[in-house]
Structure formats: structure tokens, C-alpha cells
Amino acid sequence: MLIVDAHTHLGLAEFIVKPIPAEKLAKPAFQDKTTQTIEELLSSMDRNSVSRAVVFPFPLAEADADLANGYVLEAWKRYPDRIIPFALLDEKPEYWIEKGFLGFKQHFLLEPERFDLSKAYPAIAAAGKPLMAHFPTYKIVESAEAILSQAPDIKLIIAHFGRCKPNTGACVTENLEALKKYPNVYFESSTVMDWEVLAGALSIVGPERICFGSDLPFGSKESPNPQGVEIEVIKKAFKGEKNQKQIFSKTILKLLREE
């Protein structure tokens, strides 16, 4: 079965050019692996029979975005059949699209409020590129609707199913129910781990709005093969070959206009 991982990271420590505040370093995301080379990513993909991966830099406002995005582009140019490049969101999406990026990633750790994104969201929507967003905890719905108010047709992917606590299903069902009325809002599966909550998503939004992601290399603290763990959760949650094919590859490829 074709597997496309819709959520992975690349980045090197030298891309961080400003000190990261102590309050940020205390967040759960910084307690795990926060670097990954192209070779490490491909090794995990090969180990888990993952054909392709959506790749973006680690979401750090303290990193040099040009260097971080450049590393992703390098990976794509070296392995165009394996890597699907997404850029960190900023005020110049047209520039990054011209460079070859196929989508964008927004994360609350990127401090998106430091940019004026009023023109960026409509530009991304007009280009038909997807935007994956990891919103602040407990502000999933209002954050999504704020973007949709500026770009109603944007292809918006909610990272981590909109969960409120890593590796749990907290808030997932409520957020799905609140956002199901928007047909162009999709949901990525990583770091939920509650297979029963994930399974319940089928009756709310259907498999056509769900895509598999691993958040690699996050999860390496819990397992030597976090991508493999995420794949097994999906197989347990979503029964049937048709559902699994949709979630493992068809949804994200459709968003990329490849399906």
C-alpha cells in the first residue's frame, strides 16, 4: 500500500541563529529530538516502506528561515521522488512557490503574529497550495476560522487532528465537530495515539478529509521507530483497505493535485 507521510521535519542545529527563550525550551516539543538530516529521514522512510514525505523545517522563530527552507529544497532536489517540500509560513509565499515549494507550514512557535499575513493566506489559496497549521492549544477552532475568514477557499490542514495534549485524543472530537462544516478543512493524524478517537473521526468528516502524518522525528524519545508506531496506530484505527488507502496517500495527494 502506498504510504505518504504528510508531516515530517528536517533541520540542523546551526540554523538556529537566536537564543531560544527558557519558557519555550520548557515546552514538550523541545524535550524530544529537534534536528534531523536528509539521510536520517530517508532511513526511517525506507524502514517503514514510506514512499514519499511532506517535509518542512522545524518551526522555530529563532531559526534562519532561508537556511531552514533551503535545506528542505536541497532534499527535494536530491530526492524529487521522495520529498514533497513545504516552506515555513511568512509574508512572501509567492517567493517560496517560485522556488519550488508545494505547500506551507504554520506553527504557533513560529510566532505568526510577527508577520502581516493578510495577503499571504489569499495568495496561498489563489495558488492552490495547502497550508498545514499547528494552532495554539485550545484555540484550534477560532484560529482556523480566523484564517478562513481571510481566505475562504484555502486548503487548510489541521495538524495533529487539533488535539490539545500530545499522544492523546483530547479535544479531537469537539474540534472535528466544530470544523466539519468547512469542506476545505482537513486533518492530519500524528501524535494522537488514541485509536478509538481516531476511528470516530470517520463518522464526522470521513476518510477523504484525513491524512496520515508521523511528525518525525518527534516521538523518538518514546520509541526508536516513531514513524512505524504512527503507521500502526492508523492501521488499528481505520479498518478496511479503501479507508487506509485514502488516509495513507490519497487525501494528501489530492491536496497536492496529484490524485
For residue 158, the model assigns a pLDDT of: 98
pLDDT in tens, 18-27: 999 998 888 8
| Separation of alpha carbons 58 and 11, rounded Å | 6
Cβ-proximal residues to 90 (8 Å cutoff; 6+ apart), any chain: 65, 96, 115, 120
Average of pLDDT values for 8-34?
Answer: 90
Give every strand in the sheet of 83-88, ordered side by side.
4-10, 52-57, 83-88, 103-107, 130-134, 155-158, 185-188, 210-211
* pLDDT value at 109 more than 70: yes
Q: Please tell me the distance from the alpha carbon of residue 227 to that of residue 204, in angstroms, as a whole number.
A: 26
Domains, the chain, with CATH or none: 4-255 (3.20.20.140)
pLDDT at residue 162 in the model: 97
pLDDT per position as a tens digit, 64-90:
999 999 999 999 999 999 999 999 999
The predicted-structure confidence for 135-186, as pLDDT tens digits, reads as follows: 999 999 999 999 999 999 999 999 999 999 999 999 999 999 999 999 999 9
Over residues 32-67, the pLDDT tens digits come to: 888 999 999 999 999 999 999 999 999 999 999 999
Q: Is the pLDDT of residue 127 over 70?
A: yes
Write down the pLDDT at residue 259.
67
Question: 3-state secondary structure string, the chain?
Answer: CCCEEEEEEEECHHHECCCCCHHHHCCHHHHCCCCECHHHHHHHHHHCCCCEEEEEECCCCCECHHHHHHHHHHHHHHCCCCEEEEEECCCCHHHHHHHCCCEEEEEHHHCHHHCCCCCHHHHHHHHCCEEEEECCCCCHHHHHHHHHHHCCCCEEEEHHHHCCCCCCCCCHHHHHHHHCCCCCEEEECCCCCCHHHHHHHHHCCCHHHEECCCCECCCCCCCCCHHHHHHHHHHHHCCCHHHHHHHHHHHHHHHCCCC
pLDDT tens profile 248-259: 999 999 999 996
Q: Return the pLDDT at 31.
A: 85
- What are the pLDDT digits (tens) for 204-257? 999 999 999 999 999 998 999 999 999 999 999 999 999 999 999 999 999 999
How far is Cα of residue 31 from the mean position of the Cα atoms in its chain? Answer: 19
**The pairing of beta strand 155-158 with beta strand 185-188:** parallel
